[in-house]
Structure 1
Amino acid sequence: MVLDKIKIGLQYAMPKHALSRLVGKFAAAEAGWFTTQAIKYFIKAYDINMDEAKLKRPQDFATFNDFFTRELEDGVRTIDDNASTLCYPVDGKISQQGDISQGQLIQAKGFKYSLQTLLGGDETTAAPFQDGKFSCIYLAPTDYHRIHMPMDATLREMIYVPGDLFSVNPLTANNVPNLFARNERVVTVFDTAAGPMAMVLVGATIVASIETVWAGTITPPAGKDVFRWHYPASGPGSIHLKKGDEMGRFKLGSTVVSTFGPGMIEFNETAGPGTVTRLGKHYADVVASQPEIDAEES
């Protein structure tokens, strides 16, 4: 369609970083009445279910970011506590999921992208996930925007990868090659009892920043360099997270791409592209437990 081509062309032409940082400044501002009115508009425009939120009134939020990353009411989401299953890490919708084949992930019909590029360009980081599985979940503006752990895990590496800030909605995913491997992103790599897991938090147009619970705001740093942080498997400085624990959040939405080692998990057979996800529900099954990686402390 001509309109779709125009929208995609505008994505390439617009100053995405400048626009995103400008929106980010507003979203972080305590602008009183103006902030409250913006929140009211957003709730109405996207039919946000505030009954699920711990704070329910627009005036309860000092900033738009506080509203967008709002906490849920206790008990609204139940975490599947079966040790042999993974739970969905977010509310959203599955874009694609399946096998990582020849180092490639499926983005959309006719588009694939590189596992190694997605994970920051280092062959050593990507190697444990070759021939494994991946899942890509898109968070719409209406969704809850905190990200939780699908299983118990120990953090081993975090990587900030600079890049573009294309929108990550279905239209863009179907038309912009290498979308998730070209956008700004934060890669988190974990050890689990079943094998390696990575969760990639992908930035997008007007995503003001990405945060993790252990490091706070990761984006936007200055410059165009890839940054890497390594964490020990045990002892001081180690970070262990339980299934269902919050691990990060998006300020103004995006996508989570998860990757798993070969032979590690099988996805819920009733779910696939287009499936609506809810935090805590059955995501996948552990195929066979493996010893945790006994890597040298970094």
Structure 2
Amino acid sequence: MMLLIDYLKAWPQYVMPGHLLSRLMYALTRVRIRAFKNLFIDTFIRLYKVDMQEAVEQNPHAYEHFNAFFTRALRPEARPLADGAGAIACPVDGSVSQTGTIADGSIFQAKGHSYSTEELLGGSRERAAPFHNGSFATLYLAPSNYHRIHMPFDGRLTGMVHVPGRLFSVSPATARAIPQLFARNERVVALFETDVGPMAVVMVGAVFVASIETVWARQVTPPAGRIIRQWSYPENEAPCFARGDEIGRFNMGSTVIVLFGPDAVNWTSEIGHGSGVCMGQLLGKTQR
């Protein structure tokens, strides 16, 4: 019965103009008219029970528009960072969709659905090869969550890929109903080299996710376009990030997928499907 309900919820998304709706949301969330943006923010806080005591700026009306409020910075003490040698920190607030092994290049999405690492990373066999038989963690951000993305582990940026695509919802119900969801939606892939090998942080767009930003390239999307865009960062020019550093943000909610190579990490047994997580908490430990 649940699966039937999921399909009924999902099928209108095939004909819904996802990019148009997201561009409209982009405009609405940047309106600076005081009465409008304050009502928008106040309504959101009430509906989602947002705790403004965690924010650096605790006055909701001090934000210039809704998106500034939505991507607000938190006080460092609000999100303690996992420490200790080999600790993998959760990059976002949200809930665990799935964790596991990338079995022969296939990543588990939900019951009955998987997708390939190659598809997720933009159709490149070369980009996918280092993650063959590696590990993945899929983390879902609800609208109420903190929407900045942080570094799971120390690393050096080696490349970035913007993969245009659809903008389906990424809710758990949609993940159960739409095959290869995360390899079909628009996404930004950040590739890093770490002491335990390659790491990818994949920022997956969704309907109403009107923009994805990184700290090194600023706004990557929009524009959406139709062509895969790639950037490479030579070793002598590449930015390095420490565990917990901010690396990007979603302007509205979505999903982050973290990939490691084989024999690199073990996810902690304390998290599993549906577990709530906060940015900075222990997600796993390195094996090396």
Q: TM-score range by the shorter chain?
A: over 0.9
Distance 2:51 2:13 in 1: 30
Distance 2:257 2:223 in 1: 21
Cα distance, 1:10 vs structure 2 = 1.6
Q: Which runs of 5+ in 1 are unaligned?
A: 289-298
- Alignment match of 2:212 (pick from 210, 213, 227): 210
- Is 1:85 equivalent to 2:87 in the alignment? yes
Name which of 167, 170, 178 aligns with 1:168.
Answer: 170
Q: Distance in 1 between matches of 2:265 and 2:244?
A: 17
In 2 relative to 1, CA 3–285 (structure 1 residues): closer, same or farther, beyond 3 Å? closer
Matched position secondary structure for 1:218: strand
**3-state SS of the aligned residue for 1:174?**
helix
Residue 123 of structure 1 is matched in structure 2 by 125
Q: What is the CA-CA distance between 1:232 and the residue it aligns to? A: 1.4
Mapped contact 2:6–2:177 kept (Cα < 8 A): no
TM-score (norm. length: structure 2): 0.97
How far residue 222 of structure 1 moved from its aligned partner, in angstroms, is 4.8
CA distance in 1 between partners of 2:13 and 2:85 (Å): 43
Residue 3 (structure 1) shift: 5.2
Counterparts in 2 of 1:4 and 1:80: CA distance versus 1, 3 Å? closer
Where structure 2 has 5 or more consecutive residues not aligned to the other structure, the ranges are none
The aligned residue for residue 240 of structure 1 is 240
Structure-2 residue corresponding to 1:140: 142
- The one-letter code sitting in structure 1 at the alignment partner of 2:135 is K
Shift of 1:4: 4.0
**Per-residue CA shift, 1:242-282, capped at 9, x if unaligned?**
01000000000100001100000101012111111111111
State how far apart, in whole Å, the 2-side matches of 1:222 and 1:149 are.
25
- What residue number does 1:42 align with? 44
- Local SS of the residue matching 1:117: helix
Q: Find 2:62's aligned residue among 54, 60, 63.
A: 60
The answer on whether the counterparts of 2:175 and 2:181 sit within 8 Å (CA) in structure 1 is yes
| Distance of 1:138 and 1:231 partners within structure 2 | 28
Identity across the alignment (%): 47
Q: CA RMSD in A?
A: 1.1
Q: Which residue number corresponds to residue 267 of structure 1? A: 267
* Counterpart residue number, 2:101: 99
Deviation of 1:5 after TM superposition, in Å, equals 3.7
User: TM-score, normalised to structure 1's length?
Assistant: 0.94
